[in-house]
Structure 1
């Protein structure tokens, strides 16, 4: 059975507002409630703790911790503590980070090699926790991050959104490139491949009876893709709840995805899809 997660945004949240959002996510059927890690948001570990307090069964995730912002040994302590105090409900997600301004504000190098080294060091520190380590998710798109995920994580998350210099930001790849990324991970994982859980991060969900018109609202995520290719992008969901449920099943068959994560802006819309799939 597939799992479904939502990344909730903590900006400007009071205690009550944050707890209400977490409860609503659980009520809609989300299996995983995840907190992001950006300097303009509330700190991820206290937010994760309060999410666990507000809910009953949901896994509490981080999507994703910027490895460069956390000293490896301190990160391992914080992960172990949070997992223990949430009753073993933590799923720790790690990434290499992508917002240059945050690196500059934190006084840490932004170079690709530096970011990969920080991610590698973080996974090493977590591995030292042994059996006490919660499930590890690593998210990304490029070869080096996905290879590390294939070698060290239980869950590989495909963002499908590399940085594009011509746009000055990230942009979504098409269906064929996503398939190539999945194949790359399976090859890199070797004998581990059958044990990996494959996750995909969706950028947007639009409930509509007119898919071609609906996808126009999401074109900003992939401005170089025509409508037909945009409708096939596995990181966007467009259509009726029933049609999107069919998309989810199709993505499971084509890519092997069994874990789907949406952003908070899509929480209510995708909740109607979860209801169809339960």
Structure 2
């Protein structure tokens, strides 16, 4: 079982960034990942610095927005990063989902455009890197993205959060739908299925003795789900550290997830859970 954290920074100093990376390592995270959003620090410099100031964790991108990167130019960045990181790079790719970022970059936002950009990037990178491709993670929810992940990546990451036009953002699905998504990816993988690592991205963690109240405080992530459904989804964690550790074990058994990624605001709280699972 592996645990990752996506570090989010809109600025700050080198000292603050390095302290956060070292804290993540001390808490037992196996992967320190950086996102790819226009309002945050750029992914490649921050990833390289994370590798420089830590020793054990893999350094990942969760996830690069495929529309922001041309294959030949990204291949150069990836090859350089992997070399300077002594092979600790984990390359995560996705379609992107923030409409305003696409507008700011002058890029089309339609689902077809975004998925085609991801398919092209994955299709060309391996050849451009000449077999020196680091472990590839592809994250998403829809059929085309999960099919691509199942057939081409080593790690399939389930966001469980399709874009919902009625909300103008992504929103979580329930456990039943996520089960169907996992089954779909396994079918698409064919003979590769047994070798895939399955990851899930957790949106939030709440430490509390009242699990129902805890997930109700997270309802913004899934406005149309019931409290019982919120309690079942592996994208939200609520309870004591012992409760959440049991959730993780249950999700491993139910869905086959062996790689759990949390967001930086949950880093310290989920660190208490990691301690129980080691």
TM-score band (shorter)?
A: over 0.9
1:24-39 superposed matches below 5 A: 24-39=23-38
**Is the 2:98–2:169 Cα contact (8 Å) retained in structure 1?**
no
How far apart, in 2, do the equivalents of 1:68 and 1:76 lie?
14
**Is the 1:96–1:119 Cα contact (8 Å) retained in structure 2?**
yes
Match of 1:68 in 2: 67
How far apart, in 1, do the equivalents of 2:69 and 2:215 lie?
38
SS at match of 2:131: helix
How far apart, in 2, do the equivalents of 1:130 and 1:203 lie?
35
Match of 2:242 in 1: 242
Match of 1:44 in 2: 43
SS at match of 1:257: coil
Matched, 1:267 2:264: no
| Range with greater deviation from structure 2 (164-173 or 185-194) | 164-173
Match of 2:195 in 1: 195
Match of 1:150 in 2: 150
Segments ≥4 residues shifted beyond 2 Å: none
Matched, 1:113 2:112: yes
How far apart, in 1, do the equivalents of 2:55 and 2:48 lie?
12
**Is the 1:10–1:35 Cα contact (8 Å) retained in structure 2?**
no
Q: TM-score, normalised by structure 2?
A: 0.98
Shift of residue 176 of structure 1?
0.4
Q: TM-score, normalised by structure 1?
A: 0.98
How far apart, in 2, do the equivalents of 1:61 and 1:152 lie?
17
How far apart, in 2, do the equivalents of 1:169 and 1:118 lie?
20
Tell me how large the CA RMSD over aligned residues is: 0.9
How far apart, in 1, do the equivalents of 2:251 and 2:66 lie?
29
**Is the 1:60–1:89 Cα contact (8 Å) retained in structure 2?**
yes
Match of 2:8 in 1: 9
How far apart, in 2, do the equivalents of 1:112 and 1:171 lie?
16
Shift of residue 103 of structure 1?
1.2
**Is the 2:138–2:156 Cα contact (8 Å) retained in structure 1?**
yes
- Where does the alignment leave 5 or more consecutive residues of structure 1 unmatched? none
How far apart, in 2, do the equivalents of 1:85 and 1:13 lie?
24
State how many pairs are aligned.
277
- Where does the alignment leave 5 or more consecutive residues of structure 2 unmatched? none
